[in-house]
């Protein structure tokens, strides 16, 4: 943690934000720190923060920046570093809970494969949290002051409380993360499964109804509080509608922007709906297929969000990629690790280069940049599908009592 904090402070205090904030891979119109400050300025000028096309975040985030208004640049840097440190501790505590409950149960059930040693179980929280905190995408997102950190923080709290067997706080933070970024609502289906797995209670329809009701009450309360803050319902269209209808075609690492710029307006809404459905239609199949591995199912859903959301960024990738070590004991049959690592390095180097070729030097075109978007999507999909296949192979061996020597 100390090393990661020093790196963040060094990059931040030496002007890292001024450089990184210009990269569209780090900030999007929905998570831009500059746009948040613009919303604060409009609010202080007795104008709606959602006037024009500046700020597109939720009102509660805006209220937080209003409280910090007037602070110097280093205060904002320190604020985002503290948020990332909180994420580090949450990853650590979440991994510890996972090691105490699901991992040990899984080892007993799958003892015919190489069992985890006690030392490995004890080191799991440290390994996962350090990997998260030192992962370059996490550092870049923190230094770039991307407001996606708020959603990531709430997702981690959601998973932590679900592993603790506390369904109420878990649903509260699931509703809050949905309020911040819309897409985390897909986790609502898997949270009761994690809860029943940890508490050894029955999974039934009544539990799901209870969870949905609590979720809707909390989400409705957040919307009501937002209305009180801005005294208007404009934020619904300017924040949630902005994300779902994809109003802004600013380039990012996703697959929406280029495709929709080439689309005839008469077909645009149809294809937006088709694209958005990709985030949500996998929720039930993934939850049912991996009901014996509910935290893994949640990880897959987070990866799907990072792949198919309308305004993705490296902050989304950092969350789900950095949680891979949680499941290393289950991924014996993962096949494409070297290729995916090379793709990650390749993309990290070529994104800024292709952007310069296109925008600065005018020697390229959008096709160059969008080609990297497609490679990013393919790499994400390959990572998710290969991970799912690896776990299914492992489950098959356990179910059929097959002994396979693992290197």
Q: Give tens-digit pLDDT for 148-197.
A: 999 999 999 999 999 999 999 999 999 999 999 999 999 999 999 999 99
Which pairs count as long-range contacts for 345-348, CB under 8 Å and 24+ apart, including other chains? 346/375, 347/372, 347/375, 347/376, 347/379, 348/136
Q: What's the pLDDT at 108?
A: 57
Domain limits, the chain = 2-399
In this structure, the number of other CB atoms found within 10 A of the CB of residue 204 comes to 11
Task: List pLDDT tens digits, range 191-230.
Answer: 999 999 998 888 899 999 999 999 999 999 999 999 999 9
Average pLDDT, integer, range 291-295:
92
Average pLDDT, integer, range 225-245:
93
Task: Give the angle subtended at the CA of 55 by the CAs of 52 and 60, to the nearest 5°.
Answer: 130
Q: Report residue 54's pLDDT band, with 50, 70 and 90 as the boundaries.
A: confident
Joined together, the tokens standing for residue 196 give 């029943």
CA distance 316 to 264: 29
More confident residue, 54 or 270: 270
Q: What's the pLDDT at 119?
A: 66
Q: Report residue 406's pLDDT band, with 50, 70 and 90 as the boundaries.
A: low
Joined together, the tokens standing for residue 14 give 């030496």
pLDDT of residue 370 exceeding 90 = yes
More confident residue, 141 or 104: 141
pLDDT of residue 101 exceeding 90 = no
Q: Going along 217-362, which residue ranges are E strands?
A: none
- Mean pLDDT for the chain? 90
CA distance 35 to 43: 12
Q: What's the pLDDT at 155?
A: 98
Average pLDDT, integer, range 12-17:
86
pLDDT of residue 262 exceeding 90 = no
Q: What's the pLDDT at 44?
A: 86
Q: What's the pLDDT at 52?
A: 78
More confident residue, 16 or 33: 33
CA distance 5 to 85: 8
Q: Report residue 365's pLDDT band, with 50, 70 and 90 as the boundaries.
A: confident
pLDDT of residue 305 exceeding 80 = yes
CA distance 305 to 316: 8
pLDDT of residue 405 exceeding 70 = no
Q: What's the pLDDT at 403?
A: 63
| Longest Cα–Cα distance in the chain | 70
Residue 188 DSSP one-character state? G
The owner of tokens 């020093």 is 6
Candidates 173, 149, 152, 151; CA nearest to 161 is 173
pLDDT of residue 112 exceeding 50 = no
Residues 6+ apart with CB under 8 A from 88: 1, 4, 129, 132, 133
pLDDT of residue 346 exceeding 50 = yes
């Amino acid at each position: 943690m100390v090393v990661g904090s020093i790196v963040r402070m060094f990059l931040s205090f030496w002007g890292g934000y001024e450089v990184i904030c210009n990269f569209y891979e780090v900030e999007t119109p929905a998570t831009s720190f500059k746009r948040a400050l613009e919303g604060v300025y409009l609010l202080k000028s007795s104008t709606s923060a959602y006037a024009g096309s500046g700020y597109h975040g939720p009102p509660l985030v805006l209220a937080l920046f209003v409280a910090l208004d007037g602070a110097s640049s280093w205060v904002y840097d320190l604020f985002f570093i503290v948020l990332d440190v909180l994420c580090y501790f949450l990853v650590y505590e979440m991994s510890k809970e996972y090691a105490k409950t699901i991992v040990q149960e899984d080892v007993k059930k799958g003892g015919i494969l190489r069992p985890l040693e006690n030392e490995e179980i004890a080191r799991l929280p440290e390994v996962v949290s350090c990997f998260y905190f030192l992962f370059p995408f996490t550092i870049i997102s923190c230094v770039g002051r991307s407001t996606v950190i708020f959603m990531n923080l709430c997702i981690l709290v959601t998973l932590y409380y679900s592993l603790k067997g506390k369904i109420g706080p878990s649903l509260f933070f699931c509703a809050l993360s949905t309020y911040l970024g819309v897409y985390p609502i897909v986790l609502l289906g898997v949270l009761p499964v994690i809860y029943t797995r940890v508490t050894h209670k029955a999974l039934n329809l009544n539990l799901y109804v209870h969870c949905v009701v609590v979720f809707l009450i909390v989400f409705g309360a957040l919307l009501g509080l937002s209305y009180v803050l801005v005294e208007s319902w404009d934020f619904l269209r300017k924040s949630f509608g902005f994300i779902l209808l994809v109003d802004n075609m600013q380039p990012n690492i996703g697959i929406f922007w280029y495709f929709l710029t080439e689309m005839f307006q008469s077909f645009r809404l149809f294809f937006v709906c088709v694209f958005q459905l990709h985030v949500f239609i996998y929720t039930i199949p993934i939850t049912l297929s991996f009901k014996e591995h509910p935290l893994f199912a949640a990880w897959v859903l987070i990866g799907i969000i990072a792949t198919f959301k309308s305004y993705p960024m490296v902050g989304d990738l950092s969350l789900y990629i950095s949680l891979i070590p949680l499941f290393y004991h289950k991924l014996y049959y993962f096949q494409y690790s070297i290729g995916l690592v090379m793709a990650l390095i390749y993309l990290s180097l070529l994104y800024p280069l292709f952007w310069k070729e296109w925008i600065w030097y005018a020697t390229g075109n959008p096709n160059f940049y969008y080609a990297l978007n497609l490679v990013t999507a393919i790499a994400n999909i390959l990572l998710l599908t290969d991970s799912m296949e690896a776990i299914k192979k492992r489950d098959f061996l356990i179910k059929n009592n097959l002994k396979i020597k693992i290197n």
